[in-house]
């Protein structure tokens, strides 16, 4: 290199250096970087509006948000963690928190939450349950999820099917089977009784939505006493019975593994839709008074349903952790929790908001979700760092079973995949 | 994968020209070094460890452990089940011998605890079980070869056919050239989503069209027998335009006099094609075949999108790269995925070298 080059480079460095100090001297707000998954339209808009309000409300911190596509969100978070490029505050699908906490890229929130006892007391128990791993709280959601069955009242009445209104009088397996058969007669020729949202594809939905069926039959994804083995549980007798029944739905034409699109229930081509709270805004717009929410059936001794949803964590590499907490606190403000729940139909994470919401009160459109969450029906997904592998293995098994594969073989394969992963990670022993 | 072969004869360069040559080579060489050679050696290094994407556990060197897990295949002779009373072999309703459950045999030995069945074969009156430590890897490898074996000749032939079609001197030919080329400039992910809907067994366009002539309905992506075939069709449709353009350039390079001379000699259209067009396109064809082969081995996006990353049903569409991504990213096993990538590079390298040998050694 010649001298001129170095002179030019030094000059450039001087100019930029000067600009740099200028920026610092101006005392601009501390930037808090935020990542969130781009979910349903209404949810996304509500969150964007809340972040805008946050930036307008104060000048100490400024939230800079990036939306990432939901499908590969977990991959992107992992890649960013490797590259040391995680944002300060990020949301993630609930059960991934255990893996993130184990890997060490989240900080516990207990100390922060202890500073605001009013807020701590207001958060509903299921949110705390989901965010807890190794006795510390690693994440907080602004809403919880609800999973039950949406029904088309007109069709249910036409088929003379009993409509349960509480978790106590939920359908039994025999009743559910009979209802499905009766509904065959009232759905149009190109429709079917039950929509399972198989169009979501082999991903988190398969685990969130269908592992409660295993649990209700008496099985589970993994032995939860020590989270060391799935063999004998995910492929045990109860699980095989559950998934054999599940496969029967497809074999008998009661549902479809390849729905035409996302609108089967809205278009009146299915009488029941087995899906979570997030469809509530569009379903109620399409069906109005004909939309009813039915509790999860009791496939075995007791009913089971999913819980937990997207929640927020603060990263250990964040330079502005206090800012990230300040923003998270803002997201958890009653108004914002309410705004988000109104937009998405999700269960608000604050008892105060939940109790004030007529939709969750007795007789309200979403009351079943409330009953399931407080009535012990909801089961958290396995609280282990092995969760990402568990969910992939189970989703793949569900995919194979829905397409007609041998149930025992598919579940055996899932059990081996999970157990091999746990062995490869020395049992996912907790840090220190 | 770029393969550089040394020139056959060492060119005699003057000193100054040699320096100039090195200088002009350096950008490409630097890029190859940074993005090909160094990563390859890094991958080889990682493949000897149990490196995880994210883990609090320290990385340990485990020697060839990953390769053993990846490549271990074992044969077990199977003895038919015996009737406990008579000691005669048990037979099922159709009179076939009954064999013990594979999983029980494999789990009996802690070494083969996680093995899965690849196949069962009858040899000299004995039934053998072939089980692999990573059965998905072997299926993926077989699928990848199958894909390449079908796609390379078909796509090359189609590309040449299309190139000859759009090489006609007719009005509006540019329109057809654009139409045939348009799938190439469409992102594969979008093409895959569109075809996913077209393949829907109940409502998809393809089954609707076939239904008109009384065929189907086929469960394209749901049936393990047709899933890979479905991926092949869409891949050829998407990729053929690129090779078409290369062939088109090759066709337009052929001097018109050759055809005139052939006509004077009394050659018909077919003789002109086999004796003028094909030999003149020799170098173009070599390029098309080698580049299509390498692209075929990299099969990933279509399968990832259309099967939601599962390579299903039952590994019927699993591919080597998909398995690599699933292991390295989605199961966070960077060390293991590195071992897959090293094996994969070696396979592609051998095939590329062989292809070059076979295709370029024949002098015209």
Rounded average pLDDT over B325-350: 93
Residue B203: which of A260, A399, A412 has the nearest Cβ?
A260
CA-based radius of gyration for chain A: 24
Q: Give which of B70, B314, B318, B325 to mutate to test A binding, by max A Cβ within 10 Å.
A: B314
Per-residue pLDDT of chain A (432 residues; tens, 9 = 90+): 455 655 555 555 544 444 444 444 456 899 999 999 987 777 788 889 999 999 999 999 999 999 988 877 888 888 898 888 999 999 998 899 999 999 998 999 999 999 999 999 999 999 999 999 999 999 999 999 999 999 999 999 999 999 999 999 999 999 999 999 999 999 999 899 999 999 999 999 999 999 999 999 999 999 999 999 999 999 999 999 999 999 999 999 999 999 988 999 999 999 999 999 999 989 999 999 999 999 999 999 899 999 999 999 999 999 999 999 999 999 999 999 999 888 888 899 999 999 999 999 998 999 999 999 988 899 999 999 999 999 999 999 999 999 999 999 999 999 999 999 999 998 998 765
Rounded average pLDDT over B246-266: 93
Q: Which of A375, A384, A386, A332 is nearest to A168 (CA)?
A: A375
- Across the interface, do B329 and A102 touch by the CB < 8 Å criterion? no
Question: Looking at residue A18, what is its pLDDT?
Answer: 45
What is the nearest CA distance from A284 to chain B, expressed in angstroms? 26
**Residues in A touching B114 (Cβ below 8 Å):** 416, 419-420
Q: Report the C-alpha gap between A194 and A202 in whole angstroms.
A: 18
pTM score, whole prediction = 0.89
Q: Give which of B42, B51, B54 to mutate to test A binding, by max A Cβ within 10 Å.
A: B54
**Residues in A touching B223 (Cβ below 8 Å):** 403
Beta strands A378-379; A305-306: pairing state = parallel
> In A, residues 73-92, which contact B (CB 8 Å cutoff)?
75, 78-79, 81-82
- Across the interface, do A260 and B202 touch by the CB < 8 Å criterion? yes
* Measured distance between the N- and C-terminal CA atoms of chain B, rounded to whole angstroms: 27
Helix-then-strand count for chain B, H and E: 16, 3
What is the nearest CA distance from B140 to chain A, expressed in angstroms? 16
For chain A, say whether B116 makes contact (Cβ under 8 Å).
yes
Find the residue in B nearest to A408 (Cα): B103
What dihedral do alpha carbons B112, B118, B122, B128 form, nearest 10°?
0
Question: Looking at residue A140, what is its pLDDT?
Answer: 96
- Across the interface, do B55 and A392 touch by the CB < 8 Å criterion? no
Q: Which of B149, B292, B318 is nearest to B228 (CA)?
A: B318
DSSP assignment of A300-349 equals SSS--EE---EEEEEBTT-S-HHHHHHHHHHHTSHHHHHHHHHHH-PEES
- Across the interface, do B52 and A425 touch by the CB < 8 Å criterion? yes
**Residues in A touching B326 (Cβ below 8 Å):** 392
> In B, residues 282-311, which contact A (CB 8 Å cutoff)?
307-310
Rounded average pLDDT over B250-269: 92
pLDDT tens per residue, range B211-235: 999 887 899 999 999 999 999 999 9
Range A283-290, long-range pairs (CB < 8 A, 24+ positions)? A283/A150, A284/A365, A287/A152, A289/A153, A290/A152, A290/A153, A290/A154
Residue A403: which of B103, B313, B330 has the nearest Cβ?
B313
pLDDT of B67 over the 70 cut: yes
Question: What is the residue-averaged pLDDT of chain B?
Answer: 89
Question: Looking at residue A6, what is its pLDDT?
Answer: 56
What is the nearest CA distance from A429 to chain B, expressed in angstroms? 9
Residue A426's Cβ-side half-sphere holds a number of Cα atoms within 13 Å equal to 12
Q: Report the C-alpha gap between B47 and B41 in whole angstroms.
A: 10
> In B, residues 37-76, which contact A (CB 8 Å cutoff)?
50, 52-57
Question: Looking at residue A329, what is its pLDDT?
Answer: 95
Domain boundaries, chain A: 30-140+310-345, 147-304+382-428
pLDDT tens per residue, range B129-152: 999 999 999 999 999 999 999 999
**Residues in B touching A413 (Cβ below 8 Å):** 116
Backbone phi, psi, residue A82, to 5° = -65, -40
Q: Report the C-alpha gap between A129 and A407 in whole angstroms.
A: 32
Question: Looking at residue A50, what is its pLDDT?
Answer: 93
- Across the interface, do A413 and B310 touch by the CB < 8 Å criterion? no
For chain A, say whether B360 makes contact (Cβ under 8 Å).
no
Question: Looking at residue B160, what is its pLDDT?
Answer: 95
- Across the interface, do A202 and B114 touch by the CB < 8 Å criterion? no
Topology alike, domains A30-140+310-345 and A147-304+382-428 = yes
Cβ density class A284-310: b for 16+ within 10 Å, e for less: bebbeebbbbbbbbbbbeebbbbbbbb
For chain B, say whether A203 makes contact (Cβ under 8 Å).
yes
Cβ density class B71-102: b for 16+ within 10 Å, e for less: eeeeebebeeeeeeeeeeeeeeeeeeeebeeb
For chain A, say whether B332 makes contact (Cβ under 8 Å).
yes
pLDDT tens per residue, range B277-311: 999 999 999 999 988 998 999 999 999 999 999 99
Helix axes B282-297, B227-253, angle to 10 degrees: 150
Look up the CATH number of domain A30-140+310-345: 3.40.190.10
Structure tokens at B155: 């796509």
CB atoms within 10 A of CB B40: 14
- Across the interface, do B308 and A102 touch by the CB < 8 Å criterion? no
CB A368 within 8 A of CB A293: yes
Backbone phi, psi, residue A111, to 5° = -65, -40
CATH of A147-304+382-428, one of 3.40.50.11540, 3.40.190.10, 3.30.30.60, 3.40.190.80: 3.40.190.10
Q: Is B172 left (phi over 0), alpha (psi -120 to 50) or beta?
A: left
Structure tokens at B59: 């990385």
Q: Report the C-alpha gap between B21 and B11 in whole angstroms.
A: 11
- Across the interface, do A426 and B57 touch by the CB < 8 Å criterion? yes
* Residue A289 DSSP label: G
- Which residues have CB under 8 Å from A228's CB, separation 6+? A422, A427
Q: Report the C-alpha gap between B348 and B304 in whole angstroms.
A: 21
Three-state secondary-structure class, residue A208: helix
pLDDT tens per residue, range B96-114: 888 888 888 899 898 999 9
For chain B, say whether A425 makes contact (Cβ under 8 Å).
yes
pLDDT tens per residue, range B21-41: 889 999 999 999 999 899 999
- Which residues have CB under 8 Å from A73's CB, separation 6+? A37, A92, A93
Question: Looking at residue A43, what is its pLDDT?
Answer: 79
């Amino acid at each position: 290199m010649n001298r001129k080059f170095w002179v030019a480079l030094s000059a450039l460095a001087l100019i930029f250096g000067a600009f740099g100090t200028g920026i610092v001297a101006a005392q601009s707000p501390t930037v808090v970087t935020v990542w969130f998954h781009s979910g349903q339209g209404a949810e996304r808009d509500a969150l964007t509006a809340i972040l805008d309000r946050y930036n307008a409300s104060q000048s100490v911190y400024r939230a800079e948000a990036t939306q990432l596509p939901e499908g590969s969100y977990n991959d992107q978070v992992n890649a960013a963690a490797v590259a040391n490029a995680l944002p300060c505050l990020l949301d993630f699908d609930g059960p991934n928190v255990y893996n993130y906490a184990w890997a060490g890229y989240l900080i516990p929130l207990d100390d922060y939450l202890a500073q605001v006892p009013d807020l701590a007391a207001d958060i509903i128990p299921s949110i705390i349950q989901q965010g807890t791993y190794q006795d510390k709280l690693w994440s907080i959601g602004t809403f919880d999820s609800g999973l039950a069955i949406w029904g088309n009242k007109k069709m249910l009445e036409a088929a003379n099917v009993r409509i349960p209104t509480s978790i106590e009088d939920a359908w039994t397996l025999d009743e559910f089977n009979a209802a499905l058969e009766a509904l065959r007669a009232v759905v149009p020729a190109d429709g079917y009784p039950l929509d399972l949202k198989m169009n979501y594809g082999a991903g988190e939905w398969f685990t969130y939505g269908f592992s409660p069926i295993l649990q209700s039959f008496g099985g589970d994804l993994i032995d939860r006493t020590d989270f060391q083995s799935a063999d004998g549980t995910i492929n045990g007798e109860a699980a095989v019975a559950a998934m054999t029944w599940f496969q029967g739905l497809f074999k008998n034409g009661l549902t479809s593994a390849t729905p035409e699109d996302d609108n089967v229930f809205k278009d009146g081509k299915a009488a029941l839709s087995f899906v979570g709270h997030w469809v509530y805004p569009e379903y109620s717009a399409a069906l109005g008074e004909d939309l009813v929410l039915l509790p999860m059936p009791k496939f075995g001794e007791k009913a089971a349903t999913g819980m937990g949803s997207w929640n927020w964590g603060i990263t250990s590499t964040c330079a502005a952790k206090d800012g990230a907490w300040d923003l998270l606190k803002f997201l958890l403000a009653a108004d914002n929790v309410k705004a988000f729940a109104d937009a998405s139909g999700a269960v608000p994470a604050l008892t105060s908001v939940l109790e004030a919401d007529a939709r969750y009160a007795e007789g309200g459109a979403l009351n079943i979700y409330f009953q399931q969450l407080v009535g012990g029906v909801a089961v958290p997904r396995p609280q282990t760092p092995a969760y990402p592998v568990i969910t992939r293995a189970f989703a793949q098994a569900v995919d194979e079973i829905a397409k007609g594969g041998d149930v025992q073989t598919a579940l055996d394969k899932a059990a081996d995949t999970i157990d091999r992963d746990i062995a490869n990670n020395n049992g996912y022993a907790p840090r220190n | 994968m770029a393969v550089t072969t040394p020139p056959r004869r060492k060119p005699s360069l003057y000193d100054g020209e040699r320096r100039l040559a090195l200088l002009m080579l350096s950008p490409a060489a630097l890029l190859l070094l940074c993005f090909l050679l160094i990563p390859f050696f890094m991958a080889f290094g990682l493949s000897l460890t149990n490196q995880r994407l994210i883990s609090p556990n320290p990385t340990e060197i485990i020697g060839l452990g990953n390769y053993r897990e990846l490549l271990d295949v074992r044969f077990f002779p199977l003895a038919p089940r015996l009737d406990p009373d008579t000691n005669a072999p048990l037979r099922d309703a159709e009179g076939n011998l009954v064999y013990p459950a594979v999983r029980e045999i494999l789990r009996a030995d802690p070494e083969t605890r996680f093995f899965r069945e690849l196949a069962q074969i009858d040899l000299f009156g004995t039934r053998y079980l072939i089980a692999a430590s990573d059965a998905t890897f072997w299926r993926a490898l077989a699928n990848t070869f199958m894909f390449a074996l079908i796609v390379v000749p078909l796509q090359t032939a189609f590309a040449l056919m299309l190139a000859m079609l759009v090489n006609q001197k007719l009005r509006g030919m540019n329109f057809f050239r654009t139409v045939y080329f348009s799938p190439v400039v469409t992102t594969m992910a979008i093409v895959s989503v569109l075809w996913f809907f077209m393949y829907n067994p109940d409502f998809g366009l393809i089954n609707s069209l076939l239904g008109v002539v009384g065929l189907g309905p086929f469960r394209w992506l749901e049936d393990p027998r047709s899933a890979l075939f479905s991926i092949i069709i869409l891949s050829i449709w998407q990729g053929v335009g690129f090779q078409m353009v290369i062939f088109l350039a090759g066709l337009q390079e052929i001097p018109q006099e050759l055809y005139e001379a052939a006509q004077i000699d009394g050659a018909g259209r077919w003789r002109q094609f086999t004796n003028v067009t094909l030999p003149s396109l020799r170098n173009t064809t070599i390029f098309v075949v080698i580049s299509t082969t390498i692209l075929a081995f990299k099969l990933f996006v279509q399968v990832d999108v259309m099967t939601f990353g599962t390579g299903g049903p039952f590994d019927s569409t699993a591919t080597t790269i998909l398995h690599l991504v699933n292991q390295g990213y989605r199961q966070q096993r960077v060390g293991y995925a590195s071992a897959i990538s090293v094996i994969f590079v070696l396979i592609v390298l051998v095939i590329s070298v062989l292809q070059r040998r076979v295709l370029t050694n024949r002098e015209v």
